[in-house]
Amino acid sequence: MKTKHCALCRKLQPIDPEPVRTQRATAGKIVRLAAGLARAALLRRPAPGKWSIHEIVCHLADVEVVNSWRYRKVLANEALGPTPWNQDEWAETHQYRRQDFRLALEQFRGLRMRNLSLLAVVGKRAWSRAVRHHVRGRLTAGQILSHVAHHDVNHLKQIARIRKELKSREPK
């Protein structure tokens, strides 16, 4: 499998030939992975300092807000100014653990579909529009799209691991 360094996170990632398909499937996969889990299970952290399934879903909803802005700035050929954000600080100050899981999932699903719809409307040619990012340099909508796809895959694997661990702790 071919890999390349992600323009946003700089990690070496597999190249996803269909990042739109990957992203379109994410919400449904989360629903399946969370099915049947009680609130306490959704909130159970796999280790100190690690996020629960509930917190991951709230994080994904916030990431979709951030990426909504990024896509629109890039597609409009507007420079991406400083937009640093600390995901752990957001999780704490936005009180992810107290948020409504279903509402966060629906926000994620709605924003994701809206973003993918926007990208479909403008067409793949527009995805190559590039703007200057203050830290990352040249950045395109297509690069953001690819980053989001591998970000989804990473968190889906994390959720699957947590679910498997929860199931292994159940009495037999």
Structural domains of the chain sorted by starting position, each given as residue range(s) with its CATH number in brackets: 19-169 (1.20.120.450)
Question: Over the stretch 84-100, which tens digit does the pLDDT of each residue have?
Answer: 788 999 999 999 999 99
Sign (positive or negative) of CA dihedral 133, 137, 143, 148: negative
Is the pLDDT at 75 greater than 80, yes or no?
A: yes
pLDDT band, very low/low/confident/very high, at 56 (cuts 50, 70, 90): very high
Is the pLDDT at 18 greater than 80, yes or no?
A: yes
Is the pLDDT at 49 greater than 70, yes or no?
A: yes
What is the spatial distance between Cα 99 and Cα 52, in angstroms, rounded to a whole number?
13
Give the pLDDT of residue 132. Answer: 82
Task: Tell me the backbone φ, ψ of residue 91, rounded to 5 degrees.
Answer: -60, -40
pLDDT band, very low/low/confident/very high, at 134 (cuts 50, 70, 90): confident
The whole model's pTM is what? 0.91
